[in-house]
Structure 1
Amino acid sequence: MGDNGGGPTGPRCIAIVGPFQSGKTTLLEAILTRTGAVGRQGTVDAGTSVGDASKEARDHKMSVELTVATTTFMGDAYTFVDCPGSIEFVHDMRAALPAVDAAIVVCEADEKKVPQLQLILRELEELNIPHFLFLNKIDKADARLTEALKMLQPASRVPLLLRQIPTWNGEAVNGFVDLALERAFVYRENQPSEMVPLEGDTLDAEKQARFSMLETLADHDDALMEQLLEDIPPPRDRVFDDLRKELRDRQVCPMLMGVASRTNGILRLLKALRHEAPGPAQTAERLGVKANGESVAYVMKTFHTSHGGKLSIARVLAGQVGDSTVLHTPDDEAGRVAGVFKMLGQTPEKRGPAGLGETVALAKLDGAATGQTLSTGKQPHPALVEVKPFPPVLSIALKARERKDDVKLGQALTKLRDEDPSITVIQNQETHEVVLWGQGEMHLRVATERLADRFGVAIERHRPSVGYRETIRKPITQRGRHKKQSGGHGQFGDVVLEIKPLPRSSGFEFTERITGGVVPRNYIPAVEEGVKDALEEGPLGFPVVDVAVTLIDGSYHTVDSSDMAFRTAGRIGINEALPQCQPVLLEPIHEVEIVCPNEATAKINAILSGRRGQILGFDTREGWTGWDVVRAQMPESEIGDLIIEIRSATAGVGTFTFKFDHMAELTGKTADQIVAARKAAAE
């Protein structure tokens, strides 16, 4: 296809993104209705939308994974990728974005959602993705458009460019003026808008708003600036050329408006995409695709279906991909495509080979993962991007409700992780717990629901164990003696151990000062093993650390002594000594760094103080207007559900990272409760 003055240059892929509950899935439904892909507009509330079709999304009435739907508009193919708005499911958006041509950012004139909007715009800005703002629910907006623009502008690092202004019938918005076309339209519910004369007060408002739009465009076009200064009306084609160029160069973010639930403003949005958004060739160039005659595709998302196996949603960025095409990952793990499908939500439809720009589902590429670059060349194509998940912030320990499902649970967790790389699974060898880490409370809830609903594994969940330790305050010298006689060879081991506390974080030291062969050299390693055995669980119920043990004396029997006897003697010596050494509980302390909008900083400080946190200081977040970074040290036990309070205090946008710093003594009532709980669990 030719450019046609900015028309399509191949099948487009457009992301629909925006803050939580701004109407993204409703906008997708409106687009599919307007383009004839669905016969009747469904709704999220009724559970009849193409998007949010999974059981978990329907149950919670929110997007929990991206939805892909391909349709046509004016004879050209478009795939829309509806991305979750919640920060807990943001990895789906982040993994899909690199390969899209442009994004529609759905938002409302709501001050409380500006920090969420800023997070999403920042992702698009960092990836150099052209984007439009679609101001949704314009019929319910309290603020006038100029006020809304002032409210939303701080979220964007480029100017928001008004493309439309609303027209009013009393207090209600009844249509809009397109400032580029200089035409007025009245909304018709679930029908195309109707053009009406542009006159009176509306014409005056249009002239003022259009001049403001042209001024912003002229910041990057000297010729246009001269025409404005000389009062020469620029040709309409010149205005559209500037709109297209400055969108593609990411110098402006055009702002359109409408009511997705009534399909108002949808055709104008689609026409803006058609004429101004870049096509797949420009996207491939932005990503640095080097085709060299080979086919290249990027995996945006992975699904495991109940009957069809694994589906990889992929965008073809060079060449063609069809049935039986062999694709290689960057680490050269090959896979053969078992089928190519067009997607409409969760419904795959078999189709022929996919060419440049098309977004399709590829079946049974077992070696492919979300975010990978696939290619057909003899040398695998270098990775186009690397999308690392945000660090996890909340964890649960889980186990299969029935022991017979243990293997099935392991397989299900592998698939879950394949579908959602922002989940981390850790096998804790010390506590024998399987710990699932995720991005928040709802993220983990949906993950466990999927284990049951999609993979058929019922699970039990509880809070993971905290990494408590214990140490000693007082040194002691203790004999450990093991003697047993039961016919034939007996067992005999006798040791004298000197036990001392070490400075914090020293770990464990074992030495010996044996003279005269009272303990033969070949038995000394066994003594050390016995000591280690005993230190695995001290008198308070936890592993013992920061202890030095020296073997200073002992005795042996020429017949009855053995490695096992001396190992037992070492263990007995430690077990008898530790209760006399003033054992004390140690708890892990982590360094925590919280990022939050600055109006929430005082609340965050109060939350940290209420969780035994020691605030180290705070500073402005570098490169982020209106955000702070708070640093603190706090106990691991208090970090467990910290994210829930942070999200509550920050309208869902605050988050944190943490790393182990040191172990600290814990005494008093809290320590007594922890030790009592440990003993009760062991009984």
Structure 2
Amino acid sequence: MTTKNIALAGHAGTGKTTLMEALLYQGGRIERMGSVAAGNTVSDYTAEEMKRHSSVYTAVGSIMQNGQKINLLDTPGMFDFAGGMVQGISAADCVMIAVSGKSGVRVGTKKAYRAAEGKPRMFVVTKLDDENANFYNVLTDLKSTFGPTVCPVVVPVIVNREIDSYINLIEMKAYRYDKDGKAQEIPMPTAEVSEKLSYRVDGLIQAFSEAIAETDEELFEKFFSGEEFTQKERVDGIHKGMRDGTITPVACVSAAAMEGIDLLCKELELLVPAVEEAEEILAEDTVGEPVALHTAADEPVCVQIYQTLADPFVGKLSMMRVVSGTLRAGAELVNAATGMTEKIGKLFYLCGKKQQETDSCAAGDLVATTKLSANTGDTLCDPSRVVSLSRAVFPKPCYPMAVRPAARGDEAKVASAIQKLLEEDQTLSYTQNPLTREMILSGLGEQHLSAVISKLKYDFGVDVTLSVPKIAYRETIRKKVKVQGKHKKQSGGHGQYGDVWIEFEPYPSDELVFEEKVFGGAVPKNFFPAVEKGLQESVTKGVLAGFPVVGVKAILVDGSYHPVDSSEMAFKTAASIAYKEGMKQAEPTLLEPIGSLEVSIPDDNTGDIMGDLNKRRGRVLGMNPSEEEGMTVILAEVPMREMADFAMQLRQMTQGEGTFTLEPVRYEQLPANLMTEVIASASE
């Protein structure tokens, strides 16, 4: 049986989930179509997706089309859930990009196209039932954005601004749909009718034929001599062009009305290359040497986990693609990442949340199992051939928030639940800031973290609150001083006596540097460690706002002692007294962390971003052309305190096309006009 894995991707709101629903209905997998608004679609079955009326996770379903198994992966379109799109595309062999007939090419269209680099791609213009939809404007937009490879294969006939029928350019047949979405073949538009339309049907056929001619020398000669292609030649030409990346077909549908869905199913059957057509899949063995795998049943089994879901009831659900061999329930495979043996339990084919148990799964197909310790991206292999497949590259988390339990004592419970979510979401991170001691949850945006918090509450029963992370300020001094610290106390019996003179001076170090230059035994050597300990404990809190102190050198130069009353504790206390007095006299100031920023943006937005960075007290260090066409990379240094909302601001300014990384690199003096504000907030 031939297998095809097709990911549905594109900008949010382009109708991917409705298209998936229509394809499943057309393929006989579901008895009636659900709707996103009603929250009863196959793809959006989680509570979070039904609440949002949009996809959060990648969902799988399949249809049978004339002996072919076509697996469909409905991926999220919202940028906050881009990890789901990466997972879906990594498991697919072809990417079908949905483009709204109303809004045309958007940022999500471009991102999906780039993410599918190296795989066959096709466009589907959706929502043609919208009164403001215009297929031919969108087609022009696609050609100008993605180049001459764009080639229509199904086009609408528009009469009086309404769709009258659809033309399948491969069959050279026209179809009209009734109100129930049933197609009836009608005659192709005549030349006279075509003249009255806003486009020329014969012109579309000419462009379609030219694209096919470019795929093969014999076809080119036939086209050049004026002969028409047969249907088989048209199919073979587009099929080859998709496989080579020289043709990106464009179909069109109105999924809600079931118009064009049957034609799209034909295109998926005839045009999309099958898994079995891949010549080889490259992997690496245990010593890093390349190994070629083939989609064949007689090879040692090799599977890769493309997605993990954390379910509080079922446990860990691992979705896998069988790359080679035949996977059977009960098989014992080696995890190439850890070297551990994983025993495969029951196997399931998925259609949304529905599971259909199977004993085995052939090469090229998608299947799921539970209770593996392996994670997303891991390769599981037969012990006779242990190899690693390349992992998908996920967007890095860029929106950090401090997280804490709503109820005291729930720290361990929260950490355990978040750990499970980290296994399913590669765009999420959870770390402790070693400087502020806060737990930081980072994601791709506000909506992303909102969904995580919701899942923690409803699936794992833990409430957490989010807040803007604290800034790890530091304190330091700007001049050299010499001060005395004297501790004298008499309370019957032995008293306490410690007396030190210490010089404090600025010094380029992240930790306190201690020296002693005492002459003549004014302070006995056995008390030096106590003096240093007193200072080390003191520098954890500065005198301005209680922040740790850095960049200070302390030199013990003199002092005195009592042969009976002096003790380590007395000298430790004397050192802390000297520290407090010395810090006040040495012109203390606040330091703020500076981050190294690398932001990739469309060329048209460079001026806006430069202006925004100036407002954030940033220093632009350089601008370089990006590897991606039409993009620029800006390098800058920006105070971390100014960057809390940068992720959201960048998304708004670039319509979601901009990306960035930000890493703290050093500390600089905080401007005087901001010190009062920071000191006041620290004392609250």
Distance 1:154 1:141, change over 3 A: farther
Q: CA deviation at 1:157?
A: 6.0
Structure 2 matches for 1:135-150, cutoff 5 A?
135-140=125-130, 142=132, 144-150=134-140
The equivalent residue for 2:352 is 345
The equivalent residue for 1:5 is none
What is the distance in 2 between the residues matched to 1:283 and 1:494?
82
Q: Is the 8 A contact 1:473 1:584 kept in 2?
A: yes
Per mean C-alpha deviation after superposition, the further-off stretch among 530-539 and 494-503 is: 494-503
Q: Is the 8 A contact 2:308 2:318 kept in 1?
A: yes
The equivalent residue for 2:189 is 199
The equivalent residue for 2:123 is 133
What is the distance in 1 between the residues matched to 2:466 and 2:504?
40
1:186 and 2:188 aligned: no
* Code of the aligned partner of 2:593: P
The equivalent residue for 1:300 is 306
What is the distance in 2 between the residues matched to 1:221 and 1:671?
71
The equivalent residue for 1:584 is 589
What is the distance in 2 between the residues matched to 1:634 and 1:38?
54
1:247 and 2:242 aligned: yes
The equivalent residue for 2:415 is 410
The equivalent residue for 1:46 is 38
The equivalent residue for 1:399 is 404
Per mean C-alpha deviation after superposition, the further-off stretch among 94-103 and 446-455 is: 94-103
* Code of the aligned partner of 2:16: K
The number of residues matched between the two structures is: 666
The equivalent residue for 2:267 is 272
Per mean C-alpha deviation after superposition, the further-off stretch among 399-408 and 108-117 is: 108-117
1:552 and 2:547 aligned: no
1:317 and 2:307 aligned: no
* Code of the aligned partner of 1:657: T
Structure 1: which 4+ aligned runs deviate by more than 6 Å? none
The equivalent residue for 1:119 is 111
Distance 1:525 1:281, change over 3 A: farther
1:56 and 2:37 aligned: no
Distance 1:262 1:482, change over 3 A: farther
Distance 1:599 1:139, change over 3 A: farther
Q: CA deviation at 1:485?
A: 5.3
Cα deviation 1:145-194 (Å, max 9, x = unaligned): 44322312344366111112211232111321111111111133453422
What is the distance in 1 between the residues matched to 2:235 and 2:135?
22
Q: Is the 8 A contact 1:165 1:206 kept in 2?
A: no
The equivalent residue for 1:223 is 218
Distance 1:653 1:189, change over 3 A: farther
Q: CA deviation at 1:492?
A: 4.2
Q: Is the 8 A contact 1:594 1:656 kept in 2?
A: yes
Cα deviation 1:217-250 (Å, max 9, x = unaligned): 3233222222222112223212211111110111
Q: CA deviation at 1:414?
A: 0.4
Cα deviation 1:628-682 (Å, max 9, x = unaligned): 33333321111111111121222222222222243222234422111101011xx
The equivalent residue for 1:479 is 484
The equivalent residue for 1:4 is none
Q: Is the 8 A contact 1:177 1:206 kept in 2?
A: no
Q: CA deviation at 1:401?
A: 1.2
Q: Is the 8 A contact 1:468 1:588 kept in 2?
A: yes
Q: Is the 8 A contact 1:476 1:577 kept in 2?
A: yes
Residue 682 (structure 2) aligned to one of 664, 678, 682: 678
Cα deviation 1:503-544 (Å, max 9, x = unaligned): 5x6654322223333334444333223222211110122111
Structure 1 unaligned spans of 5+: 2-8
Cα deviation 1:32-64 (Å, max 9, x = unaligned): 111121111111111111112211112222211
Distance 1:561 1:273, change over 3 A: farther
Q: Is the 8 A contact 2:300 2:385 kept in 1?
A: no
* Code of the aligned partner of 1:275: L
Distance 1:298 1:156, change over 3 A: farther
- CA RMSD across the alignment: 2.4
Residue 293 (structure 2) aligned to one of 287, 290, 295: 290
Q: CA deviation at 1:617?
A: 4.9
* Code of the aligned partner of 2:80: E
The equivalent residue for 1:238 is 233
Q: CA deviation at 1:23?
A: 0.8
Q: Is the 8 A contact 1:616 1:632 kept in 2?
A: yes
SS of equivalent residue, structure 2 residue 239: helix
* Code of the aligned partner of 2:348: F
Residue 521 (structure 2) aligned to one of 490, 495, 517: 517
What is the distance in 1 between the residues matched to 2:29 and 2:494?
86
1:457 and 2:462 aligned: yes
Structure 2 matches for 1:133-172, cutoff 5 A?
133-140=123-130, 142=132, 144-156=134-146, 159-172=149-162
Q: CA deviation at 1:262?
A: 1.8
Distance 1:580 1:442, change over 3 A: same
What is the distance in 2 between the residues matched to 1:538 and 1:26?
60
Per mean C-alpha deviation after superposition, the further-off stretch among 509-518 and 235-244 is: 509-518
Q: CA deviation at 1:472?
A: 1.1
TM-score, normalization: structure 1? 0.92
Q: CA deviation at 1:117?
A: 1.3
Q: Is the 8 A contact 2:504 2:553 kept in 1?
A: yes
Cα deviation 1:475-501 (Å, max 9, x = unaligned): 211222344556666554432211012
1:328 and 2:334 aligned: yes
SS of equivalent residue, structure 1 residue 511: strand
Residue 650 (structure 1) aligned to one of 624, 629, 654: 654
Q: Is the 8 A contact 1:115 1:155 kept in 2?
A: no
The equivalent residue for 1:386 is 391
